[in-house]
Structure 1
Amino acid sequence: MEEQKVLQDLKINGSMVVSGGSFNEVSINGKGTINGNVQCKEFKINGACDVNGKLKAETGVIRGNTNVEEDLYIGDFSVYGNATLQGNLYTSLFNVKGSCSVEKSINAEVIKPYGRLKVGDSCRADNFIARGVFDINDTLDSKIIDVTINGGKCSANVIKGEQVSVKLKGEEGFLKVLKSLFSFGDDRGTLKANEIIGNDIQLAATKAKLVKGDRITLNDGCDIELVEYTESLEIVGKARVIESKKV
């Protein structure tokens, strides 16, 4: 029987330039440059890392600064620091609590932007759950889209989902009373898109040219040029719709 190869760890605590390869764990607490493709079980960055090639890992956690020159294939991936991915990202669970820029596309099961996410092309997922800020240059396509706007500006060219929910983070206590008494402007953020398409759509603080779906509810802060619906349209509060039609 052929013996299984034992993978070594790659650990950098100072400053080092190394060649790519297959490793058990890649751990960088200093400054590391890896020239070539990397395959590992765990990818942990607490310092700074440049990967000049493709990266494949079972899990990854970024707490420092990381740049990956080509595609990233990874299982669970969390960014608490800053990450720049110059290729595509293929992942199962993607958590962003820091800042991440993906120059091409994201393909994932679950995407959770709780910090700041910028995507140069499209995002495809089963679940997209956002509590932070995102900017998607092309299409956000997910079965479930759950966005809570919390003071930032989110955007995507096209949003597609079976269930699409966009709401404002609630205000409690004294701040809520002040705004109701003195009519302070609402600075809790917005979502902007050219098209939003889905089956069940509930929106707040959203500006779009077209919203198209089966059952649509528009709440405060919506500014929609055209709504097309097949079953029902409900307009609540201070939502503005220029044109609506049942199709």
Structure 2
Amino acid sequence: MVKQHGDLVIAGVGGASGGTYDMVRLDGVATVNGSVEARIFKGNGHVHMKGDLRAEELECNGNMNVKGSLKIGTLKAEGMVRIGGSLRGESCVLNGVISTKADCELEELTGEGAFTVNGLLSAGHVDFVLHGPGKANEIGVESLVIRQNNQGTWNRLLGGMFPKLKPELNAGTIEGDFIDLEYTNADVIRGNIVIIGEGCTVGAVEYRSQLTVHPGARVGREEKIGV
């Protein structure tokens, strides 16, 4: 048994109980029954967390499934991360796919791949290249930059997994200070400086300082509002 505040290490196929650890390293196929709190958490392979997970530094390569909520300082993910609750933390660098059943609250979200937030995506800065679908019910940010890249390895992989899903962002309402979008569908966008790029379809845009609309974009209503 690993004592509290010690380390938890699994190599191969194995399981463990939840608890508080200094470092957790799971390599292979690992299941943890219960919530975990750790300073450093590294998962490689297939990791199943059957509770909440809280870590100052989290790195995962492969497939991670967190049944509860995830709270992190920093997250670096390569592969697929599924979260049954909310995601909260400082920064997330993603090369892959991430999904949350509830809200996502981060200071920074950067990377490429695809994401689904079944709630509010709240962030300081988001800079993301979509190789697959992006989705959030609502987005509230300081700055948001969305680009599309439908070439390369991720597109081939996601195209095989989700053949009918395009690399585009879908959201109800987007609010922020600086918003620069490509291939985005939204009901309402509100911001200070707003750039509506190629492939966008927007019901209404409300801006304070500046609005730029690509000739190939479609905007139903444009309105300059007071500072």
The reply to whether TM is greater than 0.5 is yes
Match of 1:239 among 193, 208, 217: 217
Q: Which amino acid aligns with 2:101?
A: G
Q: Which amino acid aligns with 1:229?
A: Y
Could you say which residue in structure 1 is the equivalent of 2:10?
Answer: 28
Could you say which residue in structure 2 is the equivalent of 1:15?
Answer: none
Could you say which residue in structure 2 is the equivalent of 1:167?
Answer: 147
CA contact (8 A) 1:149 1:188 kept: no
For 1:89-132, what per-residue CA distance to the aligned partner results, in whole angstroms no more than 9, with x for missing partners? 11111112111100100111001221110100011111111311
Could you say which residue in structure 1 is the equivalent of 2:175?
Answer: 197
- Whether 2:135 is the aligned partner of 1:155: answer yes
CA contact (8 A) 1:113 1:134 kept: no
- Whether 2:22 is the aligned partner of 1:45: answer no
Structure-to-structure mapping, 1:6-85, within 5 angstroms: 21-35=3-17, 37-85=18-66
Aligned-residue Cα RMSD (Å) equals 1.9
Task: Give the fraction of aligned pairs with identical amino acids, expressed as a percent.
Answer: 23
Could you say which residue in structure 1 is the equivalent of 2:91?
Answer: 110
**Displacement of 1:170 after TM fit?**
8.6
Alpha-carbon distance in 2 for matches of 1:20, 1:86: 22
Could you say which residue in structure 2 is the equivalent of 1:9?
Answer: none
Alignment TM-score, normalising by the size of structure 2: 0.88
User: Partner of 1:214: helix, strand, or coil?
Assistant: strand
Q: Which amino acid aligns with 1:156?
A: A
User: Partner of 1:97: helix, strand, or coil?
Assistant: strand
- Which of these two proteins has the greater Rg computed from alpha carbons? 1
CA contact (8 A) 1:128 1:145 kept: yes
Could you say which residue in structure 2 is the equivalent of 1:216?
Answer: 194
**Displacement of 1:237 after TM fit?**
3.3
The gaps in structure 1 that reach 5 residues or longer are 1-18, 173-186
Higher strand content, 1 or 2 = 2
